[in-house]
Structure 1
Amino acid sequence: MKSPFLFALCFAFSFIAATAAPREWTDQATGRKVTGEFVSLEGDQVTLLINGKEFKMPVAKLSPDDQAYLNVVGEMPAPTPPAAPEAAPAAPAKPTSKVQGPVEVDGSSYFYYIPSSAPEGAKLPLLTYTGSLGADANTVKSMIEGAEICGWMVACCVQSSNRVDPELNQTHLAKVVKHMVANQPVDPKRLYFSGHSGGARMAFRGCKRLDGAGVIAYIAGAQDDEISRTDRYFIISGATDYNRYDTATTFAAARKVSAYRLHTSGHNNGPGWLMTEGMMWLQSCWDVDTQSTAPSRSAFEAASIAWIEKTKSSASHRAAWWARFFKTQGVSAPHQAKIASLDAELSQTPSNEAYIKGIADIEAFADDVLAKISIYSEKGHTTPEIQKKCDKMLETHAETPWIKDLFTALKNKTGN
């Protein structure tokens, strides 16, 4: 007879549609994996939300990493092995190709990664992620591509959770960031924050309280008093997410210092490349805003050019947008000719030019349409005006990669 967990796995893999789940779970016996959202923990039984349905299974069937995660988010008793002595403060770390942690800090903990591309001894920007239902080493792994391109340290706060008091979340986040600044090669003027849903709200609040430089926010917006005209914001929403009006409102309020991106799904993070592009956008804005002449700028631009060269074979429309962005923003002298050459090459494809226009149209749609809806979060919602304007945009973008899918999804009601 199949175990409940194996049944859940078979059920999950039979669907293609993405879920709102932020975490991957592993069957300890078979090694099979499924993406699902933690719902509750009762005794030795955990309930996961997988493709919209709840499944209950024994905690013992999950991997040791999953059980450790549940020790945190589910507040279950820790297993019986003897407790390790309290970790000493971490020594300044050298660049590494592995995620490090968990590092314990007085009841809080975090995982982190130092890019292998970072010069030894350099002070690096730090991006810290707060999840709506916790975070783990896999959270950090999802940020590694951007970390290597931008030369950033990345970390996650394990205890971040919607189920925790908001002030306690900020306490956990502050302890993690301050410990990193004290013990790792972090530039205290370059603190960035990111998060998913409730974790995005933690990120906005943490950025304000810890004097941060910017936020990558997934599927949730900020309070009005959390937006600074000197910071930068890369805001990501699902086209059918019930928070799409909230994220658009934040984008409109911070229009001059923010970017807005959509994916085609609902209340989830969407494709992983959005995190990479958010980090690249924030790094470029910093270099331009500060008129940086640091060696790190040239290194970032060289890595970005290499990324564009790699990306143009699989997603030339995205590569074209970035070549145009860097050409418009401006790059340091050694890279100007190459960026101009890439822009000229990629702009010869009409669909690439249409995509560049389409990103601008998405941002205008968020500002002019979604942000004007007088609600922040509502399920099962759309309006005739939204649908009419999407149809108008689809006349322009009927063949535009990605953009046509976004406006098609925007016509739909927000999800449950």
Structure 2
Amino acid sequence: MKRIIIFFSLLCLPVLAEPTELRDWNSVAGTTIKAVAQSVEAGQVSLKSEDGREFKVPMDKLVEDDRAFLMEHFEIKAPEPGQPTASGATAVEGGLTYPAGEVSGPIDVGGGSNLFVYVPKTLKEGRKAPLMFRTGPGGGKSKSVSAYSESAELNGWIIAASVESKNGPDHPDGNHEHSKRCVAHLLENLPIDEERVYFTGGSGGGAMSFYNALRITSAGNMPVIGYSPDKKYDKKHYCYGIGGTNDYNRYLTAHAVAQYKDKGFHRFHPGGHSGGPAWIGDEGITWLNGRYLGDRRKEAELDDERLDYEASVIGWIEKLRGSEPHRAHYWCDFLTKDYEISGPNAEVVAGTFAELSEEPNNVRYTEGIAELDEFSEDYYAGEGEGGGSQFKHTTGRIESAAEKLATKYAGVPGIEDIASKLGGQTVGK
């Protein structure tokens, strides 16, 4: 078992060595194939069989003697204990229409539409990136994209925003035309995965995130204090809703998120009709990325991207555990139970998870985040079914449930404060 764990922790930089001789390779399942091992990268051995077929096999599927042979031949060394495994893919160096690591814009894309865009320095060579496209209730500015630069780097996502999209007579059709032109321009000029375009925005911009996701090829959205203007949803999408505890759109957001069932999640911050701290949006993007990659574990072409996602989030967890260990625990829980981490990085996460779980409030925080989402579906979603924002509104049922939740999570950072406000009346800003 110790030898297998060491293998799981292998460095995943591509090893430049001569291919092996033609030989038999034996799997732990009892099968044998005669092939040449051409290289080892990200825990995958590239084989070329006698008849010229090329394919990749995870090293942990081979018997111990074959793994040892590969490690010696390709001079594979184990990293320091506890270090995550990444794919070893190199970051893009130049050649991009818009430079990495800075906000570009406003960029005229034609038809009276303009955008701002942030390209992450973690963008990988030869790999297409997801796009998060933002629409606002009052137009877009440089800070509309820079606000999510941390999660852009963490996840390797491109962030962009429409300059013109805003509340008013052009909502939603005119705003959609601006969004459509902007997204088309970005797809043409940057390495973006067309199937993984996401939309976000606050209030009316959050409404546009639903509207755009139904009309432009998309994987989902992240509405902030938003709502669906036509109450239509693509339930194959992912939806991470963000809202204030006392926002007058809280019921609309809850109802919308509930339509996605286990692919939807409602995240609260204390307050009214505002977006809350930017880090919640960073967590939303990381959640969306993890759910997509985790749910497609059978798609081998995403293996390297999964390794980079895992390594990046593990590094993030290490930063959080010193200042906000409850958040670090939540992300260990997410990687373990929602993302269902396996392979080289599972052991690293398991060790950190166990250590963080020794503090009861870390565990209670993670449980509380889940219960807040359940509260949204149980007590808010039904109130939003009829449609329309509601001001100065609550019910006795909501007040009672919120009070019980606040009592249950007394003393838990980030949970008690939120729960205590869920029963209050809805307000504006």
Query: Contact 1:248/1:366 (CA < 8 Å) preserved in 2?
Result: yes
Higher mean alpha-carbon deviation, 153-162 vs 375-384, is at: 375-384
2:308 counterpart residue number: 299
Structure 1: how far apart are the matches of 2:132 and 2:287? 13
Structure 2: how far apart are the matches of 1:198 and 1:360? 27
Distance change (3 Å), C-alpha of 1:333 and 1:224: farther
Is the counterpart of residue 379 in structure 1 residue 384 in structure 2? no
Structure 2: how far apart are the matches of 1:224 and 1:322? 34
Give 1:297 shift.
1.4
1:412 counterpart residue number: 424
Alignment of 1:43-62 (within 5 A): none
2:20 counterpart residue number: none
Structure 1: how far apart are the matches of 2:360 and 2:262? 28
Q: Deviations over 1:57-90 (max 9, x none)?
A: xxxxxxxxxxxxxxxxxxxxxxxxxxxxxxxxxx
Q: Matched residue of 1:412: which SS? A: coil
Query: Contact 2:365/2:413 (CA < 8 Å) preserved in 1?
Result: yes
Give 1:95 shift.
5.5
Give 1:331 shift.
2.0
Query: Contact 1:387/1:411 (CA < 8 Å) preserved in 2?
Result: yes
1:93 counterpart residue number: 97
Is the counterpart of residue 105 in structure 1 residue 115 in structure 2? no
Query: Contact 2:406/2:417 (CA < 8 Å) preserved in 1?
Result: no
1:314 counterpart residue number: 323
1:243 counterpart residue number: 249
Structure 1: how far apart are the matches of 2:175 and 2:98? 29
Give 1:120 shift.
2.9
Query: Contact 2:407/2:416 (CA < 8 Å) preserved in 1?
Result: no
Alignment of 1:273-352 (within 5 A): 273-291=279-297, 292-293=299-300, 294=302, 295-328=304-337, 329-352=339-362
Is the counterpart of residue 217 in structure 1 residue 226 in structure 2? no
Query: Contact 1:323/1:342 (CA < 8 Å) preserved in 2?
Result: yes
Structure 2: how far apart are the matches of 1:216 and 1:190? 13
Q: Matched residue of 1:392: which SS? A: helix
Structure 2: how far apart are the matches of 1:164 and 1:189? 30
Q: Deviations over 1:388-415 (max 9, x none)?
A: 1111112211111111001111122111
Q: Matched residue of 2:322: which SS? A: coil
Structure 1: how far apart are the matches of 2:387 and 2:102? 43
Q: Matched residue of 1:154: which SS? A: strand
Question: Which letter maps to 1:337?
Answer: E
2:66 counterpart residue number: none
Question: Which letter maps to 2:136?
Answer: G
Give 1:377 shift.
1.5
Query: Contact 2:242/2:267 (CA < 8 Å) preserved in 1?
Result: yes
Give 1:223 shift.
4.8
Distance change (3 Å), C-alpha of 1:377 and 1:112: same
Is the counterpart of residue 183 in structure 1 residue 189 in structure 2? yes
Alignment of 1:3-42 (within 5 A): none
Identical pairs, percent: 35
Q: Deviations over 1:329-375 (max 9, x none)?
A: 21241110111111111111100111111111101111111112256
Alignment of 1:143-292 (within 5 A): 143-165=148-170, 166-223=172-229, 226-291=232-297, 292=299
Structure 2: how far apart are the matches of 1:312 and 1:250? 33
Give 1:163 shift.
2.0
1:368 counterpart residue number: 378
Question: Which letter maps to 2:195?
Answer: K
Structure 2: how far apart are the matches of 1:158 and 1:236? 22
Structure 1: how far apart are the matches of 2:106 and 2:229? 31
The structure with more radius of gyration:
2
Give 1:92 shift.
4.0
> Any gaps of 5 or more consecutive residues in structure 1?
1-90
Give 1:240 shift.
0.7
Query: Contact 2:235/2:259 (CA < 8 Å) preserved in 1?
Result: no
Question: Which letter maps to 1:346?
Answer: L
Structure 2: how far apart are the matches of 1:92 and 1:322? 32
Distance change (3 Å), C-alpha of 1:249 and 1:321: same
RMSD: 1.5
Structure 1: how far apart are the matches of 2:99 and 2:309? 16
Give 1:195 shift.
0.6
Q: Deviations over 1:279-317 (max 9, x none)?
A: 111111111122144212111110100111101112111
Distance change (3 Å), C-alpha of 1:370 and 1:285: same
Give 1:229 shift.
2.0
Give 1:376 shift.
3.9
Query: Contact 1:95/1:117 (CA < 8 Å) preserved in 2?
Result: no
Distance change (3 Å), C-alpha of 1:223 and 1:289: farther
Query: Contact 1:159/1:169 (CA < 8 Å) preserved in 2?
Result: yes
Is the counterpart of residue 123 in structure 1 residue 118 in structure 2? no
Structure 2: how far apart are the matches of 1:278 and 1:126? 14
Question: Which letter maps to 1:323?
Answer: C
Query: Contact 1:126/1:187 (CA < 8 Å) preserved in 2?
Result: yes
Q: Report the number of matched residues.
A: 326
Q: Normalization by structure 1: what TM-score?
A: 0.76
Q: Matched residue of 2:323: which SS? A: coil
Q: Normalization by structure 2: what TM-score?
A: 0.74
Question: Which letter maps to 1:122?
Answer: R
Query: Contact 1:151/1:296 (CA < 8 Å) preserved in 2?
Result: no
2:406 counterpart residue number: 394
Structure 2: how far apart are the matches of 1:186 and 1:210? 14
